[in-house]
Amino acid sequence: MKAGERDRVAALRMITNALQQEAKSGKGDEVGALRRERKRRLEAAEAYQEGGSGDRAKAEQQEAKLIEGYLPAELSDEELGQLVADAVEEAGAEGPKDMGSVMGIVMPRVNGRADGKRVSEAVRERLGA
């Protein structure tokens, strides 16, 4: 705060609050809480941009970037592809109807290092859906 980083301090307080609420709820999914907060900031930035509030959009994007610094590194496309391929083989999946079983195997292995939507798209592509 002494360095004049009020925006950073406010963002860190918001992160702390989100993590405390997650702990109180008993879920204990800190990475999920951070991902949700980051997603909220990106959606808000998009809404502000569409509404003509460029300054507010930039502030939301900066907060999202700060939160991103506390998240685990994202899986590369190759790593994700390998996880999906292994899960398809393990599940014996043959088509789109087996997507749920493959997702059930892949998501715990991803462990917060990729967005569920991205994983779903990779599985769908692999299964030819």
DSSP output for 53-84: -HHHHHHHHHHHHHHHTTSPPPPPHHHHHHHH
Whether 29 shows a pLDDT value over 80: the answer reads no
CA distance 79 to 50: 35
More confident residue, 28 or 64: 64
Spell out the residues 6+ positions from residue 33 whose beta carbon is closer than 8 angstroms to its own: 18, 19, 21, 22
For residue 28, the number of C-alpha atoms closer than 13 Å in the C-beta half-sphere is 1
pLDDT at 2: 60
Full-model pTM: 0.68
Task: Identify which of 4, 68, 5 has the alpha carbon closest to the alpha carbon of residue 36.
Answer: 68
Of all residues in the chain, what percent carry a pLDDT higher than 70? 96
pLDDT at 46: 93
Domains and CATH numbers, the chain: 6-68 (no CATH), 77-127 (1.10.10.410)
Mean pLDDT of the region 87-99:
86
Mean pLDDT of the region 5-22:
86
Mean pLDDT of the region 72-78:
88
Whether 1 shows a pLDDT value over 60: the answer reads no
Whether 45 shows a pLDDT value over 90: the answer reads yes
